[in-house]
């Protein structure tokens, strides 16, 4: 299953039309092609799908979601956590 975990925008590269987002401590690039120009700002919380920002999310809702994700992770053993990462990396809808 693919989950879209709220990610915080930490940098925007307008020349390449990408944002650097932080997802629970992991930073990665995400395309801005699905968003209106200048709609995403540094500090915004966003949801990603197949490497693209698909929409913004309210900060309060994002922080509540992250709290729940952390609670779930705390209950998993290391093997289950690793399997979640593998499953996410192999998401069937993920683009190349």
Q: How far is CA 85 from the centre of its chain?
A: 13
pLDDT in tens, 35-47: 999 999 999 999 9
Q: What per-residue string of b and e applies to 55-89 under the rule 16 or more CB within 10 Å gives b?
A: ebbeeeebeebbeeeeeeeeeeeeeeeeeeeeeee
**Phi-psi bin for 79: left (phi > 0), alpha (psi -120 to 50), beta?**
alpha
* Residue that has been written with the tokens 């930490």 in this structure: 10
The pTM of this model reads 0.79
Say if residue 78's pLDDT is above 80: no
Say if residue 82's pLDDT is above 90: no
Number of domains in the chain: 1
Which of 23-27, 31-35, 50-54, 65-69 has maximum average pLDDT?
A: 31-35
Residue 40 included in any domain: yes
Residue 47 included in any domain: yes
Residue 69 included in any domain: yes
Say if residue 65's pLDDT is above 80: yes
Domain membership of residue 30 as a residue range: 7-89
Quick one: pLDDT at residue 94? Answer: 45
Residues whose CB falls within 8 Å of the CB of residue 79, separated by 6 or more in sequence, listed in order: none
Distance separating alpha carbons of residues 14 and 31, to the nearest angstrom: 10
Residue 95 included in any domain: no
Q: What is the CATH number of the domain that holds 65?
A: 2.30.30.140
């Amino acid at each position: 299953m693919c989950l879209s975990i709220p990610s915080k925008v930490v940098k925007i590269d307008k020349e390449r039309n990408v944002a650097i987002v932080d997802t629970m401590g992991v930073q990665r690039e995400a395309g801005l092609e699905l968003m209106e120009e200048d709609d995403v700002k540094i500090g915004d919380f966003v949801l990603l799908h197949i490497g693209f920002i698909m929409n913004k999310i309210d900060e309060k809702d994002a922080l509540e979601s992250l709290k729940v994700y952390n609670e779930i992770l705390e209950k998993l053993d290391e093997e289950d956590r690793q399997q979640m990462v593998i499953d996410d990396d192999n998401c069937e809808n993920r683009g190349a």
